[in-house]
Structure 1
Amino acid sequence: MGFSLSVLGKFFKLGLEPDVFTFTTLINGFLLKNRMAEAAGIFNKMIAGGNCQPDVITYGTLVKAFCMKGNNSAAIQLLRKMEEGACKPDLVVYSTIIDSLCKDTLVDDAFNLFSEMISKGIAPNAITYTSLIHGICKLGEWKEATRLLNDMVSKNIFPDVFTFSILVDTICKEGMVVEAEGVVEMMIQRGIELMLSKGSMVNVVSYSTLINGYCKHRKIDEAMMLFLDMSHKGLVPNTITYNTLLDGFCKTGRIQDAQKLFSKMQACGQLPDAQTYSILLDGLCKNRQLSRAMQLFCEMEAKKLDIDIVIYNILLEGLFITGKIESARDLFCGLSPKGLRPNVRTYTIMINGLCIGGLTSEAENLLVEMEGKGCYPDGCTYNTIIRGLIRNKETSRAMVLI
């Protein structure tokens, strides 16, 4: 901004007259630097000067800045100012405010502005509709979102893959996976998946969302069918797709299928990330396959993947599930030398494991220790140790903690 203001000084020295583009560029620069007061100052001088009035891009720049700050009322005030003057708001200005209102879940206000815009003869585009669909979806009103989708198609405004993906995600969260499949089929029929390679990648997200919907409702076979359908349509599953399906297999106890998918993933050239390993590690531990879990952990170390406290929490839980209390103790004691700080979840796992093993005094000592290290127990930690004490017939000590 310092250099740009120097250039403005040069303007005046050379006798050049700055135009609306000059001032709009400066306003945008000030806004990018979060200097609202200077931007507003230039804008007000433009209005007061008379010779170089703000145009629709100048107004749009300020509207966008207000919306990014979450100041919808200021953006609407500016819109009203435009309506009163010679420079009328265009589709971009309306769409920017509608999008901001939807993001703040002020959907009724957004629809009112949408209706006002149409009444003034300004036709909405795909971006306007997508903002409204996104806002409605955030409220979980998938039927209304589907109606809007049909409305835009009837007006020959064709939604992009992002619009469909938002709707698919919402319908899946509602548990309406079959309806979500119908939306994906509509998307395929419109040929969106063949648009560009970039478009196809976004289409993978839609499939991943559907697969996630099936997995959450434990319909793993349907999820797998969709996964195979992706390949038939020439779509390459990404890491998120594999992670979603792996998680589904693990949570339904189909650990062998999860391991096969993990191998297939690598054979297809899709590299597992830390999230992939943690999903499979958690599945192996919860299904009492500790030796394979330890092998996987060693693979992670060999590949120098980022092994954080979450991974160690999974291993600790696995050790306790298989009754290896001593090994869990050793792993826990080895965290600090590795530069890892146990979190509330770590301590809660340790306390739970010790209580199951009948070591309630050690569990209580750990509760005191965690507070001393600035890691304060939450409700889950207290519930765990209270339950453990009651299970071990130490009700009086449980009552003290209650």
Structure 2
Amino acid sequence: MGASGIEHDVYTVNIFINCYCHLNQMGFSLSVLGKFFKLGLEPNVFTFNTLINGFLLKNRVVQAAELFNKMINAGNCQPDAVTYGTLVKGFCMKGNNRAAIQLLRKMEEGACKPGLVVYNTIIDSLCKDKLVDDALNLLSEMMSKGIAPDVITYTSLIHGVCKLGEWKEAKRLLNEMVSKNFFPDVCTFSVLVDTLCKEGMVGEAEGVVEMMIERDIQPNTVTYNSLMDGYCVRGEMSKARKVFKLMLSKGSMVDVFNYSTLINGYCKRKMMDEAMTLLREMSRKGLVPNTVTYNTLVDGCCKVGKLGDAQQLFSEMQACGQLPDVQTYAILLDGLCKSGQLSTAIQLFREMEGKKLDVNIVIYNILIEGLCLAGKIESARVLFRGLSSKGLQPAVRTYTIMINGLCAA
């Protein structure tokens, strides 16, 4: 541009900075900032906002805060609502609620007063950290300043009290929300359905879903999955399957998580044929089961004594590119030991060691108990004595296994 005789201006250089920030090239962004001064230009609030956001995109909250402080100290360019809002969001994303609230107080002292977006951001962060009392206090403070809450505010608060299992408080907030003509959206309702199901109140959850439909708010995949999981926990698999079919009939995007929820329900009820049918159905639909799905199925097979099927699933998951984790090995190892297949269990244990997996005390407990059950007390004792050399400390469970083994010998 300069070679063509076209002069740079603040607007043009800001575009360059913004492009580099979104490309995660903060080094180049700062170089362009240096160009500002060489050209005799003064960066404006948009320049600083872009750079602060760029640092936050790279999760560099400290550098973003430092730039904000430089902006304040320089005095020639004061932060605006966007600056404050961006940095508040950055602090909240890092879980630094204290810094976010300090910034809120700084806004209150200056000319740029906090608005609903800033309050909502902090309230949501507090609720995610289960600091609901602090969030409710902030709500009261916000309302005393004439700032009315919206659907987002109430959804965050309802989510917060739901995480604490305080259903009555969630219901109170919902009623308060409706009384103020703020109608819950699908996100609000989904939070309620999920909490009710986890509390075992599936009947009430059904009522919430019915209320959604009456208000022409269509339940989404999250809503249906929570309801399905609620039925699975209660062992009402026919109802869970009915919800699953309803999702399909409504054209909802059924994913691996939805299938895994239903598979888990069947496995818990030892209905392995139904669980395996769902696994095959996933493959036909082009869905790749994840490690959680396979762990659930391997565990289910072990619990019903189908060790051959469990081992086949163990091989199948690796062939599909899903690497077994420590939990997968622990499940299969436990099944092999309890079925008396100790040599296969020891071979699996050696495989874990060869793959440099984190062989924790749980794994050793399973193997020590397997040795004790097989009457190989001396081998169990050797494994027990070698724990400290592996950097592991025996747990209460470890001592209990050894004592029981020695007493039975």
TM range (shorter): 0.7 to 0.9
Instruction: Report matched runs for 1:127-142 at 5 Å.
Output: 127-142=152-167
Name the amino acid aligned to 2:390.
K
Q: Which amino acid aligns with 1:10?
A: K
1:293 and 2:310 matched: yes
Q: How many angstroms apart in 2 are the aligned matches of 1:271 and 1:217?
A: 27
Letter in 1 for 2:66: E
Partner residue in 1 for 2:370 = 353
Other-structure match for 1:76: 101
Distance 1:326 1:7, change over 3 A: closer
Query: Given the alignment of the two structures, is residue 281 of structure 1 paired with residue 298 of structure 2, yes or no?
Result: yes
2:361 is aligned with 1:344: yes
CA shift for structure 1 position 135: 1.5
What CA distance in whole angstroms lies between the structure 2 residues aligned with 1:181 and 1:87? Answer: 45
**One-letter identity of the residue aligned with 1:374:** G
Show the counterpart of 1:207: 224
Cα-to-partner distance string for 1:179-200 (whole Å, 9 max, x where unaligned): 122222333343443xxxxxx7
Q: SS of 1:35's equivalent?
A: helix
Query: Equivalent residues in 2 for 1:308-319 (5 A)?
Result: 308-319=325-336
- For the residues of structure 1 that align with 2:319 and 2:27, how far apart are their CA atoms? 50
The residue identity in structure 2 corresponding to 1:323 is G
Displacement of 1:287 in angstroms is 0.5
Match of 1:330 in 2: 347
| Structure 1 residues 64-213: aligned runs within 5 Å | 64-193=89-218, 203-213=220-230
Deviations 1:179-222 (A, max 9, x none): 122222333343443xxxxxx7xx21222222222222333333
Q: 1:259-284 deviations in whole A, cap 9, x for unaligned?
A: 23323333344332222222111111
Q: Secondary structure at the match of 2:235?
A: coil
- CA–CA distance in 2 between the matches of 1:67 and 1:303? 38
**CA distance in structure 2 between the partners assigned to 1:304 and 1:58 by the alignment:** 44
Within 1, Cα distance between the matches of 2:217 and 2:320?
A: 38
Residue pair 1:28, 1:39 contacting (<8 A) in 2 also: no
Q: Structure 1: state its 5+ residue gaps.
A: 194-199, 395-402
Deviations 1:20-74 (A, max 9, x none): 323333444456532256324323225x44xx43322222233333434444344
Determine the C-alpha separation between the residues in 1 that align with 2:44 and 2:260. Answer: 54
Separation in structure 2 between the aligned mates of residue 162 and residue 174 of structure 1, nearest angstrom: 19
2:260 to 229, 233, 243: 243
Q: Secondary structure at the match of 1:271?
A: coil
Secondary structure, counterpart of 1:157 in structure 2: coil
Check if 1:23 corresponds to 2:40: no
Deviation at 1:91, TM superposition (A): 0.9
- CA distance in structure 1 between the partners assigned to 2:69 and 2:139 by the alignment: 30
Paired residue for 1:44, among 68, 72, 80? Answer: 72
TM-score by length of 2: 0.82
1:219-258 to 2 correspondence within 5 Å? 219-258=236-275
| Mapped pair 1:381 → 2:409 | no
- What percentage of residue pairs aligned between the two structures are identical? 57
Change (3 A) 1:58 1:275: closer
Deviation at 1:334, TM superposition (A): 4.1
Runs of 5+ in structure 2 lacking a partner?
1-25
Whether 1:260 aligns to 2:285 is no
The aligned amino acid for 1:383 is T
Query: What's the TM-score once normalised by structure 1's chain length?
Result: 0.84
Across the aligned residues of Structure 1 and Structure 2, the Cα RMSD in angstroms comes to 2.7
CA contact (8 A) 1:30 1:39 kept: no
Aligned length: 381
